[in-house]
Amino acid sequence: MPRKTPPLSALEVSRKTDPGLHAVGGVAGLHLRVRGAARSWILRAMVGSKRRDIGLGAFPDVPLAQAREKARQAREQIAEGVDPVLARREARSALLASQAAARTFDQCAAAFIKAQEAGWSNAKHAQQWRATLEAYASPIIGDMLVSDVDTAHVVRLLTAGDLWTTKNETASRVRGRVESVLDWARVQGLRTGENPARWRGHLDKLLPRPSKVQRAGNHAALDWREVGAFWAALTGVDGMGAAALRFAILTAARSGEVRGATWSEIDLQAGVWTVPAARMKAGREHRVPLSDAAIKLLEALPRLDGEDLLFPASRGGELSDATMGAVIKRLHATAVADGGEGWIDRKQAGKVATAHGVARSTFRTWAAEATNYSREVAEAALAHTLSDRTEAAYQRGDAIERRRRLMQDWSRFLATPSAAATVTPIRGAA
Residue 48: its pLDDT value, please? Answer: 77
**Closest Cα to residue 290, out of 266, 310, 315, 308?**
266
Mean pLDDT for the stretch of residues 46-64: 85
Number of structural domains the chain divides into: 3
Indicate if 197 and 58 belong to the same structural domain. Answer: no
Percentage of the chain modeled with pLDDT above 70: 89
CA distance 6 to 2: 12
> Which of these three, 181, 212, 243, is where a domain ends?
212
Q: Is residue 286 part of a domain?
A: yes
Indicate if 289 and 402 belong to the same structural domain. Answer: yes
pLDDT over 50 at 51, yes or no: yes
Indicate if 324 and 424 belong to the same structural domain. Answer: yes
Indicate if 253 and 379 belong to the same structural domain. Answer: yes
3-state helix, strand, coil in the chain (%, to 5): 50, 10, 35
Indicate if 348 and 284 belong to the same structural domain. Answer: yes
Q: Is residue 122 part of a domain?
A: yes
Percentage of the chain modeled with pLDDT above 90: 47
Indicate if 324 and 406 belong to the same structural domain. Answer: yes
The angle at the Cα of 384, spanning 165 to 319, to the nearest 5 degrees, equals 70
pLDDT over 50 at 394, yes or no: no
Residue 423: its pLDDT value, please? Answer: 43
pTM for the structure as a whole: 0.54
Indicate if 244 and 382 belong to the same structural domain. Answer: yes
pLDDT over 50 at 184, yes or no: yes
Tens-digit pLDDT profile for residues 327-377: 999 999 998 898 888 899 888 777 899 999 999 999 999 999 999 999 889
Tens-digit pLDDT profile for residues 4-26: 678 888 888 888 888 988 888 88
Tens-digit pLDDT profile for residues 187-196: 988 889 999 9
Q: Is residue 45 part of a domain?
A: yes
Q: Is residue 289 part of a domain?
A: yes
CATH number, position 300 = 1.10.443.10
Mean pLDDT for the stretch of residues 292-320: 91
Q: What residues have CB less than 8 Å from 68, skipping those under 6 apart?
A: 24, 26, 27, 30
Confidence bin at 158 (pLDDT 50/70/90):
very high
Q: Is residue 285 part of a domain?
A: yes
Distance set, CA 7 to CA 2, 4, 26, 134, 275 (Å): 15, 9, 5, 63, 87
Residue 187: its pLDDT value, please? Answer: 93
**Closest Cα to residue 309, out of 279, 351, 341?**
279
Q: Is residue 217 part of a domain?
A: no
CATH number, position 109 = 1.10.150.130
Q: What residues have CB less than 8 Å from 319, skipping those under 6 apart?
A: 240, 241, 244, 259, 311, 312, 313
Radius of gyration for the alpha carbons in the chain, expressed in angstroms and rounded: 36
Which residue range forms the structural domain that includes residue 198?
A: 105-212
Indicate if 197 and 240 belong to the same structural domain. Answer: no
Write down the mean pLDDT value for the chain: 85
